[in-house]
Amino acid sequence: MAGLLVLGAGYLGAKLAEIALAAGREVTLADNWYATDRDQVAELERSGARVVTADIRDRRALDRLLDSEPERVYLLAAQASRPLSESDPDYTEETNLTGARRVAEAVVEAGGPALVYASSLQVYGPGLRGTVDPDRPYGRQGDLAHLSKVYAELCLELYAHRHGFDLALLRLGIVYGPSPVEHARPESQTVVDKFRRLAADGEPLPLDDGGRATIGLVHVEDAAAIVLAAPSSTGVSRANVAAETVTVADVAALARGDRPEGRPAWSVASDFEYRHSVAGYFAGP
């Protein structure tokens, strides 16, 4: 069976690799170690993953990876942090824009294995109301890390249409829960795990604007399983990957063991099955 090429051995890529290896799949994990240390994937390597140092901005490195004729390519490598997109806009653009385009070119050159791209619910912009399905137009963007998702989606779609490879654009909510790769840097931690840690330490939970913002959430095990199984159809497909929407104030209430108010401003349309909920995560060990 042809293997899986995971570009980006970070938080999501490592969990995806773990699940794929457990299912007996052959996995190559490639990363330039910008946000992840190579040591963090040593256990996955011992479990059978092929770990390669490669930069998605480097077309020749991509071609070498695709020489092994993977069945699917997962583009999870990105400069995903908003604060880092402000301190290093050039790197953010080079990786998220040029890098994404070069991945599409390398996929075409390799004869078009299916490509799966980890995008974000943030493409819909702020001020959402109602049920947000994947036909909702793109909205205003507040930083380069998320703006680049819009470009990468459209660029990958352009190449997929022009050259006829299957492409899944998966718009993920905020991902939480344990993964073989977790980042210690505060700017890389998402609200669920940050609140879980602060609540466990008896610290106050900081709420911007009273925590009124509504966010989409997905446990990393659910997210990785959904990404791994994509694409589920031929051609270009778009889907939301979030089990639920909650307000940040509700995440804080659940972290403290209080009852959430349960009034998110919008809800997410997503056809996948989810095993985890944020309430269950906070109630668990």
Under the binding rule (CB under 6 A), the answer on residue 28 touching ligand NAD is no
Under the binding rule (CB under 6 A), the answer on residue 245 touching ligand NAD is no
Instruction: Find the angle CA(4)-CA(10)-CA(11) to the nearest 5 degrees.
Output: 105
Under the binding rule (CB under 6 A), the answer on residue 72 touching ligand NAD is no
Between 142 and 164, CB nearer to ligand NAD: 142
Rule CB under 6 A: choose which of 55, 153, 221, 222 binds ligand NAD. Answer: 55
Say which amino acid occupies 142: G
Contact 175, 120 (CB under 8 A): no
Between 11 and 159, CB nearer to ligand NAD: 11
Binders of ligand NAD among 205-244, rule CB under 6 A? none
Select from 241, 227, 230 the least CA-distant residue to 174: 241
Number of H helices, E strands in the chain: 11, 12
Under the binding rule (CB under 6 A), the answer on residue 172 touching ligand NAD is yes
Rule CB under 6 A: choose which of 4, 5, 6, 11 binds ligand NAD. Answer: 11
Under the binding rule (CB under 6 A), the answer on residue 153 touching ligand NAD is no
Q: Which residue is nearest to ligand NAD (CB)?
A: 10
Under the binding rule (CB under 6 A), the answer on residue 166 touching ligand NAD is no
Least separation in angstroms between CB 230 and ligand NAD: 13
Contact 239, 210 (CB under 8 A): no
Residues 6+ apart with CB under 8 A from 87: none
CA dist 217 and 244 (Å) reads 6
Under the binding rule (CB under 6 A), the answer on residue 174 touching ligand NAD is yes
- The DSSP element (H or E) to which 241 belongs, if any, is strand 236-241
Binders of ligand NAD among 177-206, rule CB under 6 A? 183, 190
Between 100 and 236, CB nearer to ligand NAD: 100
Between 177 and 211, CB nearer to ligand NAD: 177
Rule CB under 6 A: choose which of 29, 73, 175, 230 binds ligand NAD. Answer: 175
| Full DSSP string of 79-118 | ---HHHHHH-HHHHHIIIIIIHHHHHHHHHHTT--EEEEE
Rule CB under 6 A: choose which of 5, 27, 80, 147 binds ligand NAD. Answer: 80
Exposure of 130 by Cβ count < 10 A (0-12 exposed, 13-18 middle, 19+ buried)? exposed
Instruction: Report the interface residues with ligand NAD, using CB under 6 A.
Output: 8-13, 31-36, 55-57, 76-80, 95, 99, 118, 120, 172, 174-175, 183, 190
